[in-house]
Chain A
């Protein structure tokens, strides 16, 4: 095949669907792009290989794009997101023992995240009195949505994620094993790993992240700012190929084909029916066979999910400030917002601002706390009691 050669890195997760479909259904080839997909084992590898130019683009966990652009925790390399690969898609899974403890301590229905978070606070208090070890929660990376989603949820119920529990980083494919051998009591991760734990009978999905936030930007298609400047035409073609893929995925009749494609060993490598549940937002949440539905579980191309939203970048930066990873500074907020490039998305597709969704009004729709203000992080964070001192 001829065409512009591109190398794109990804982690085996359902939220890479738009990228995998764009390549495997030849939407990229039809745009004259010869893409080599490279499956990676860690976000550190993805970040480093994107930074030094071994990858032209990458399936990137949203906060990593921001951290890289701000030079947090690592070398500063400006990364931009011209396309959103996924909104939502994560879930919090807990061990059967912790699930029973939370249910026992709950005052109300634990499918309500406020009820479950307060119940978690009671479980933790009881464990402290009895001198038990703190609970351990697994997440995927220090600069990860999973880290911030877990923290936001539990802090709303009065749990301090740095004082009351332990947080550990685990690669997504190892989450299930770690829950099984009791290295962690719970985890927050993307699909399909929550479903895998439920199918094995070792975990209960406590919450979909879509129950905690109406919209949480999850993965970006990330490219170096410099690459985008040097290859404007290729970037436009890449965006168009992804848009076609996202449209394809969101047509329900195509989903069997999509799931079969993602199930391949060199893609996600998990049974097609498990992946299908994720795409449909129809998930088995308990080993007893209970299902829960949320059409907003994972948004790939629907509801403006693919159009990068600077408010989401601002929200993620606010979480970095809240948890002591980043200083609060106006120029950093500006840089963070500039990671999301709806202008490039619009230029490639002929769309406009009007195509972005009207609800939720603050772009986030969190279950607790005040509406998010992307222009005043300080005032927004003042409303939260549990947080770290500014760095």
Chain B
């Protein structure tokens, strides 16, 4: 581990970038910069003059970054992490996680292995977080829909909340549908009867 390395994170997702930056700082890296905006990417990278560039694979700016390899006048040329094919497992893991690394200058690859491993685990942690958030969000949405449908049934059929829910559940079972789907149908139908 080399705390003096200058690391740039290019990621348009500020939350993921922050998670990665935190991880790098926890590991002792103090020179970490983030670029979230695409505008003037190369100029900003030149200004920072990093040793390592980390970029997410959904980022269309990757091709722009690759142009740096070809600039004859650039003193330092970045090299993609994938150049060394000896470590296929780590390449696969990084592509699966959705991150790519570039090393600038003559830095030895093994010196950034720990950084790449950290990237992979943080990117994967972010995906899990995102999944959980999406699930929580859709659960909340479903809850809202079911509550509205219950209200409609209670009013229209003059029934208790408990009975309204039981009716939704029974119908869902009979129709082989999710309760939320049945609830959605109730809402649509009631709109039509207005």
State the A residues within 8 Å of B (CB): 41-45, 48-49, 51-52, 54, 73-75, 140-142, 162, 168-171, 173-174, 183, 324-325, 388
Contact = CB atoms under 8 A, between A and B. Distances in A.
By secondary structure, the A interface counts as loop
B92 interface: yes
Task: Count chain B CB atoms within 10 A of each CB in A51, A142, A324 and give the residue with the most.
Answer: A142
A26 B82 CA distance: 35
B45 interface: no
Interface residues of B, number: 26
B67 A42 contact: no
Interface string B41-78: 01000000000000001111111111101101000000
Contacts of B80: 48, 74-75
A42 B82 contact: no
Contact of B63 (A42, A51, A54, A75): A42
B82 A171 contact: no
A266 to B, nearest CB: 15
A169 to B, nearest CB: 4
Interface stretch (B83-91, B110-118, B165-173): B83-91
A140 B38 contact: no
B64 A170 contact: yes
Interface of B: 38-39, 42, 57-67, 69-70, 72, 80, 82-83, 85, 88, 91-92, 95, 100
B60 A173 contact: yes
A142 B66 contact: yes
Contact of B62 (A42, A74, A388): A42
Contacts of B67: 141-142, 168-169
A42 B59 contact: yes
B66 A73 contact: yes
Contact of B64 (A52, A54, A168, A388): A168
B95 A48 contact: yes
Given A73-B69, A174-B38, A325-B70, A44 B95 contact: no
B94 to A, nearest CB: 10
Nearest to B39: A183
Contact of A41 (B42, B59, B69): B59
Given A41-B58, A73-B70, A171 B83 contact: no
A153 to B, nearest CB: 19
Given A44-B62, A48-B95, A52-B82, 8 more contacts: A42-B60, A52-B92, A73-B69, A74-B80, A141-B63, A142-B66, A169-B64, A324-B72
B69 A142 contact: yes
Given A48-B100, A52-B91, A75 B85 contact: yes
B63 to A, nearest CB: 5
Given A42-B59, A54-B95, A142-B70, A74 B64 contact: no
A74 B63 CA distance: 13
Contacts of A54: 92, 95
A153 B110 CA distance: 44
Contacts of B39: 183
A162 to B, nearest CB: 8
A45 B88 contact: no
Nearest to A44: B62
Contacts of A51: 82
B81 to A, nearest CB: 10
A75 B81 CA distance: 10
Nearest to A73: B69
Contacts of A325: 70
